[in-house]
Amino acid sequence: MNIDYSKKSNNTAVITLTVGPEDYKAAFEEEIKKQQKSANFRGFRKGKTPRSMILKMYGKAILADLVTNKVQESFSEYLKKEKIETLGDPLPIEREQPLQFEPGKDEEYTFAFELGLVPDFELPEFSEPFHYYDTEIEEEKIDEQMEFYRLRVGHQETVEYDFEDKDIISFNGWELEEGELKQDGLEVTFQMSVDQMKDEFRSKVLERVLGDAFDHNIYEVEKELSEKAVRKYLMELDDEEMDREVNAEFRLEIVEATRQVPAEIDEEFLTTFFGEDVTTEEEARNAIRDEMKRSFDEQADTILFDEVYEKLLAETEIDLPDDFLKRFYKFNAEKKEDGSEITDEDAEDSYTEEVRSGFRGELIMQKLARKYEIKIEEQEIIDELYRRVQSYLPGQQLDQSVMNRIIENMAQDRNQVNSVVGQIRARKIIRHIKNDIPLEKEAISPDAFNDILRELSKDRYGTDYDDDDDEDYPILEEE
């Protein structure tokens, strides 16, 4: 095969591939023989169909497949061998006459493509330090996490008096009218923890013991419930009953109170949460501190990455093949909503500065990935998809076979995979960049850092950051 490569400009080139008979003839004859052996037509014994008939029926398709496959294979090999990096896909150069495949004529077939070339560019060096949030984990945060673990594997016990904030109190209630039980009035049953109660109601509960009853406005029981929520969750009225007239005063009886008693910090507890290598409470506290620190550092890394990325975009000069990229967009774009074709003017209008930034950003990321020799394994992609599913369905325990099907479907979605790859790549790159740029570290508490994350989330993404969520702070995804 003959391959001719010539540059049109600094950032575009034309590659011409010519396939001669010597490149396809032997393979063509072999494929015709295969078709002849397997063909089964009326009037001929199997395998005895005349070659001329096979040629007439299948010759053009076989020849077209062989030639185009040879072109694709040689094209890829040439780019790899010559280390030619391209932007987008190659664009076929239009012919004056459509290509006709003629079996038996030993013709040459020529294919020409325009390429957008990745331009040479250098990344800037940064001398000014970048701000970095260095979270310091307070002992009380470790205390809280340790208590959380202990409560998770603790046991429940019934209490009758001296109720505490985390105790769960169960109530039976009856609607009142003028201080007496209302005839055919509403009866309710609900429970809540003491720390969820409004102050006045909480004070009444703490003064009493199991079995006591007292009167109270049911709308003034729980801190966070609106009037509609009270009617739905405490009164348990369905949609058809929402307009039912119900008096606010109820007689409420404390019928049960339970307390979660934390587990002892013993060998079983330590093994359950920290593994066999952790054998003391001090080692457990250090493990909690390290995990918390790692989590906050990942958030700080993401903020740093965004700032470095924006500065690289602003200060890196890249000579993009803009005209080629416009033609590339037009060639690959679907028709407009009205069914009409995409015009040159449409392509020009769609090639915005945002689109250019996307191409420039991806080139910068690729250069950084090569510099730091970033590799992404298939298992890393699967693990990240798994983590995403868990974040989409918090608190839900999915059967492993169901989870596997979800992950398999996501792995077939090119956009999902590209997003995951971009996220993993960004995390790996920033770990290397931290060693190459000056940092001005600010010691900060977890609570103060969470406040900053909330503000950033509102400013950039229009959403509230949830510091109880396992999902990372939104990272810049693949452009």
Q: Is the pLDDT of residue 479 over 60?
A: no
pLDDT of residue 37: 84
pLDDT of residue 475: 33
Which pLDDT tens digit goes with each residue over 428-444? 999 999 999 999 999 99
Q: Is the pLDDT of residue 255 over 70?
A: yes
Reported as a pLDDT band with limits 50, 70 and 90, residue 461 is low
Please state, in angstroms and as integers, the Cα–Cα distance from residue 379 to each residue in 85, 178, 229, 375, following that order: 27, 68, 45, 12
Q: Which of 49-53, 250-254, 326-330, 331-335 shows the lowest mean pLDDT across its residues?
A: 331-335
Asked if residue 213 lies in contact with residue 176, where contact means CB atoms within 8 angstroms, the answer is: no
Q: Which of 179-188, 238-247, 333-342 shows the lowest mean pLDDT across its residues?
A: 333-342
Q: Is the pLDDT of residue 466 over 70?
A: no
Q: Which of 287-296, 307-316, 344-353 shows the lowest mean pLDDT across its residues?
A: 344-353
Asked if residue 172 lies in contact with residue 192, where contact means CB atoms within 8 angstroms, the answer is: no
If you average pLDDT over residues 449-463, what whole number do you get? 82
If you average pLDDT over residues 27-53, what whole number do you get? 82
Q: Is the pLDDT of residue 474 over 50?
A: no
pLDDT of residue 464: 57
Q: Is the pLDDT of residue 23 over 50?
A: yes
pLDDT of residue 470: 38
DSSP sequence for 173-222: EEEEETTEEPTT--EEEEEEEGGGB-HHHHHHHHT--TT-EEEEEGGGSB
Which pLDDT tens digit goes with each residue over 98-153? 888 988 888 999 999 999 999 999 999 999 999 999 999 999 999 999 999 999 99
Which pLDDT tens digit goes with each residue over 152-164? 999 999 999 999 9
Q: Is the pLDDT of residue 471 over 60?
A: no
Residue of higher predicted confidence among 144 and 388: 144
Q: Is the pLDDT of residue 478 over 70?
A: no
If you average pLDDT over residues 380-406, what whole number do you get? 80
pLDDT of residue 468: 47
Q: Of 52-66, 304-318, 448-462, where does the model show the most confidence?
A: 304-318
Q: Which of 221-235, 262-276, 341-355 shows the lowest mean pLDDT across its residues?
A: 341-355
Q: CA-CA distance, 317 to 201, in Å (whole number)?
A: 66
Which pLDDT tens digit goes with each residue over 272-292? 999 999 999 999 999 999 999
Verdict on whether the full-model pTM lies above 0.85: no
Q: CA-CA distance, 11 to 9, in Å (whole number)?
A: 5
Q: CA-CA distance, 242 to 225, in Å (whole number)?
A: 15
Reported as a pLDDT band with limits 50, 70 and 90, residue 477 is very low
Structural domains in the chain, sorted by start: 2-117 (3.30.70.1050), 130-141+278-461 (1.10.3120), 155-261 (3.10.50)
Q: Is the pLDDT of residue 43 over 80?
A: no
pLDDT of residue 48: 77
pLDDT of residue 81: 95
pLDDT of residue 469: 44
pLDDT of residue 22: 94
Question: Residue 414, Cα to own-chain centre: how many angstroms?
Answer: 12
pLDDT of residue 394: 57
Q: Is the pLDDT of residue 372 over 70?
A: yes
Q: CA-CA distance, 66 to 31, in Å (whole number)?
A: 9
pLDDT of residue 249: 97
Question: Residue 173, Cα to own-chain centre: how many angstroms?
Answer: 46
